[in-house]
Structure 1
Amino acid sequence: MEELRSAMEAHMDQMSDLVQKITAELRSGLGPAYDNMMGFFHAISWKEEPWLMCLLGFYVVLLLVVVISRKNVNFQMCLFLVALGGVYFAESLNKILGRNWKSFATQNYFDPYGVFLSVLWSGPLLIFAIIILVNTLFSLCHLIVRWKKAELRHRARLSRNKED
């Protein structure tokens, strides 16, 4: 019984420490996270890496395609699947690029954990997928409203025909 009590007290102490650490992080605000992100972006040689400029250009073009094709649901679903496929294959892409970085970059950005590729490849693709998903939900809501209006008109027409 004493072992159980000591184990419970040790667990409660660990939980108390964890809660204190989390609340201390929350009280510090977003400052440390912002500093880490700014350090990450300043560590990248943006002007010396033409492939990064091409990647940013690709994202601009992809965003334009997403916005321009917003009314074409089938094409948007294809884009959605391609974006999620790009995220799915990010780990494999990170390994390939990590092995061949000397042929296109001045330094090795591709760490074993894939942080760089997650931020600069998967992050934007997930944002585009979310934009497409929200657009699809709005399209579906609009379609449901049109369907319900047509149903109500049909019922009104049927009731008028029965009265005649």
Structure 2
Amino acid sequence: MHPGEIEVNEITGIWSFLMSIDWKDPWLIGLILLHVLTTSTALLTRNYTNFQVFLFLVLLSVVYFSESINEYAAANWKTFSKQQYFDNNGLFISTVFSIPILLNCMLLIGTWLYNSTQIMVTLKTAQLKERARRENSAATTAPIAPTTGTKNLKEE
């Protein structure tokens, strides 16, 4: 065992688990950069709903296949990593891979909800302006009935 490594039975919480990871491993740096790129893409494409739907489906598909990815990575960890992180329960892949992806999916959903509320506000404002315009034009074109000094013919 290398210095600074922690045995699995020594991990008592999420913080000790995260501290046991060698974050200087090149593939982990690449994974972090991938998560940053995904988040940036989600934020920069907030006005492109079709692309965001595609990104959302790709991200959910990747999370769906994370168990298969974990199995492949567990069998081939020596080719890209200094340590074996990929356990049978999937704790590592869930923590550093799936959770950030699912947070990006939540960000996309939040963006869609925000855009939907903005569209509804714009639509309701346009409806109220149209109603006010119609009422205003109806009031100016209606004949004005006299109110004083004349009698109704039925009253006579």
**TM-score with structure 1 setting the length:** 0.73
Q: Quote the offset at 1:105 in angstroms.
A: 1.1
> Match of 2:13?
36
Q: Which runs of 5+ in 2 are unaligned?
A: 1-11, 142-156
> Match of 1:57?
33
More helix by proportion, 1 or 2?
A: 1
Q: Quote the offset at 1:72 in angstroms.
A: 2.0
Q: Quote the offset at 1:96 in angstroms.
A: 1.3
CA offset digits 1:29-83 (Å, max 9, x no partner): xxxxxx6122111211222x21001001111111111121122222222222222
Q: SS where residue 132 of structure 1 aligns?
A: helix
2:22 to 45, 48, 53: 45
State how far apart, in whole Å, the 2-side matches of 1:77 and 1:54 are.
Answer: 24
State how far apart, in whole Å, the 2-side matches of 1:59 and 1:90 are.
Answer: 15
**CA root-mean-square deviation:** 1.7
State how far apart, in whole Å, the 2-side matches of 1:67 and 1:142 are.
Answer: 17
> Match of 2:60?
84
Give the percent of matched residue pairs that are identical in Structure 1 and Structure 2. Answer: 36
Q: Which has the larger radius of gyration?
A: 2
> Match of 1:73?
49
Residues matched between the structures, number: 130
Q: Which runs of 5+ in 1 are unaligned?
A: 1-34
State how far apart, in whole Å, the 2-side matches of 1:161 and 1:93 are.
Answer: 66
Instruction: Indicate the larger mover: 71-80 or 107-116.
Output: 71-80
State how far apart, in whole Å, the 2-side matches of 1:146 and 1:134 are.
Answer: 18
2:76 to 73, 76, 100: 100
State how far apart, in whole Å, the 1-side matches of 2:137 and 2:15 are.
Answer: 69
2:113 to 101, 126, 137: 137
Q: In structure 2, what residue type is equivalent to 1:62?
A: T
Q: In structure 2, what residue type is equivalent to 1:71?
A: N
